Amino acid sequence: MYYALGPDECLRTLLALSTPFLPDGRIDLTSLRSGYLGYLSSYQPDIARFRAPHAKVVTEPDRIRHLADVFGLEDTPPGKRSGFEDRRDPTNPMPTWKLRLLEDGLEELREAEPGMRSLFDIAIDSIFSTANSLAAGSMTTGRAVGIIWVDPLKGWNEYDAAEAYAHELTHTLLTLDEHRYGHFPNYAAMREPKNLAKSAIRSERRPLNAVVHSYVVAEELLSLRAQGLPPDFTPRLHADTATLHAKAGEARRSIYECRNLEALTTERLRSILARADERFDSIPDPVRASAKTL
């Protein structure tokens, strides 16, 4: 969304949702952040917000447990966490190495794409992690818009963390755009087998809304790699660039092959797809580029 629509359009959506909650009617980034958090509190009053001036990493155990419950994250029994023993301490969900990695990821996002970090600091309230999750990764949920779960491996570096933030920011911005405009008029129909499509991140057949999100996320990650991350970066969270590019192309084809696309999506969602397509098409295919050098 940051690359496909541009930061100004994303900010306009945040402003449209936040206007009733702006303090004293002022419009600047500080008041926008405050008004936006007011919007989230009104939309989901049971979710406590930090109301900090920027995105904050949660370290308080009670708040982490609360957010884990909201996200539906259950503790994984010992012995079931194959391959993750090196990073698990059931008594400490935020050890020093993890906190440092999550904070380093925020700094890397600022260095790689300052405008994205600025948007992140408005749209994201907080980031939390857990001690006993089944797998490493990142996630958002519609039950707590503006909050991100990230649980890294020790093998991750700051670039993986930055990609996790870009990934989940994209989901969040798409969700907020849907709050403003509406994207999918019939959620039940999207779950019908005939309306499933192949996702870019998981490579599974999923409902159309999930596949649209995965395609836009892949386009944004590829754009971030092309714009600001080191070319020799070896990703551990997401697929390598050639694979991610190929999966994004497959997801796009799967979306447009859906015979009920127009009935299942709004004009606004299709306009986002068209702009994501333009952005994706501007990114060189790494497989073709490599073949040309042979």
Model pLDDT, residue 199: 85
φ, ψ for residue 268 (rounded to 5)? -60, -45
Report the predicted TM-score, pTM, of the whole model to 2 decimal places. 0.91
Judge whether 96 and 7 are in contact, CB under 8 Å. Answer: no
Whether 133 shows a pLDDT value over 80: the answer reads no
For 248-286, write each residue's pLDDT tens digit: 999 999 999 998 999 999 999 999 999 999 999 999 887
How large a percentage of the chain has pLDDT more than 90?
Answer: 69
The Cβ of residue 77 has, within 10 Å, a number of other Cβ atoms equal to 9
Pairing between strand 205-206 and 197-198?
antiparallel
- 68 to 65, 123, 147, 192, 220: CA distances (angstroms): 5, 20, 11, 30, 27
For 18-33, write each residue's pLDDT tens digit: 999 998 767 888 999 9
φ, ψ for residue 52 (rounded to 5)? -80, 160
Model pLDDT, residue 85: 45
Across the chain, mean pLDDT equals 89
Spell 262-293 as b/e; 16+ CB within 10 A means b.
eebbeeebeebbebbbebbeebeebeeeeeee
Q: Where are the domains of the chain?
A: 1-156, 182-294
Residue 96 CA to residue 231 CA, distance in Å, equals 28
Whether 83 shows a pLDDT value over 70: the answer reads no
Q: Please report how the helices 114-123 and 96-112 are oriented relative to each other, as an axis angle in degrees rounded to 10.
A: 120
Judge whether 145 and 175 are in contact, CB under 8 Å. Answer: yes
Judge whether 176 and 17 are in contact, CB under 8 Å. Answer: yes
